[in-house]
Amino acid sequence: MPAGNGPASGAESGSVDAILTLADWRRTIATLYADVRRLAAGDPATALELWRSTRERLYREHPQSPVPTGARADFRAAYFDHDPGLRFEVIVESPPVAVPAMALGGRSIDLPMSAGGTMAFRRFGVVTVPFPEGARLLEIYWMEGYAGGLFLPFRDATNGRETYGAGRYLLDAAKSADLGAGAIPGSLILDFNFAFQPSCAFDPKWACPLAPPANRLDIAIRAGERLA
């Protein structure tokens, strides 16, 4: 299961404590993103600071933190400097009917998982992001199983050095990581300052869907969460 904002399977043990703490993690993250969307409409920098401070506290203190238990007390998150130029309002367009990635399965796509295997998604939209280096296309997915929701993973030229080698997430609505709709009908807010490492970046025991080739950018996105 996706592990964008916490453990992919933190309640697998079935214990009451595990299930309740996972529910609390998701409740806290949902509240955080609701506050982020509200604040970012007028003050993206303040929204970003809230996002950073809340996530760092959860990484250190919460029982469902993806950070290994022994490393939590001293954990400090690392971020690129805030770049206001990497916040975009983009129109979501229908994907083309015939492209190589879809040739055998319509709009369905199985994304590889960090722990092996695949997870089913539906490729429902494409956005054109006007990066300073030039426009790039990214695909947006809908999870077919689990809780459903928008999902936007990506890779870029920082991977393997400054960020997790298998990429980062920008949207993972099954875990409430959703920056909201833009003012233009049919649009979404994509703010790469809120890009985050999947849980498997902290501990390989978590299973995370990985960005497909279509979402591998040939530029460096120096915004959001980093490894060091």
Q: Specify the pairing of strand 168-172 against strand 150-154.
A: antiparallel
Instruction: Tell me the C-alpha distance between 152 and 170, whole Å.
Output: 6
> Where do the domains of the chain lie?
16-226
pLDDT, tens digit, for every residue of 32-43?
999 999 999 999
**Average pLDDT in the 89-106 region?**
67
pLDDT, tens digit, for every residue of 139-175?
999 998 766 899 999 999 999 999 999 999 999 998 8
As a whole number of Å, the CA-based R_g of the chain is 17
Instruction: Tell me the C-alpha distance between 21 and 171, whole Å.
Output: 23
pTM: 0.89
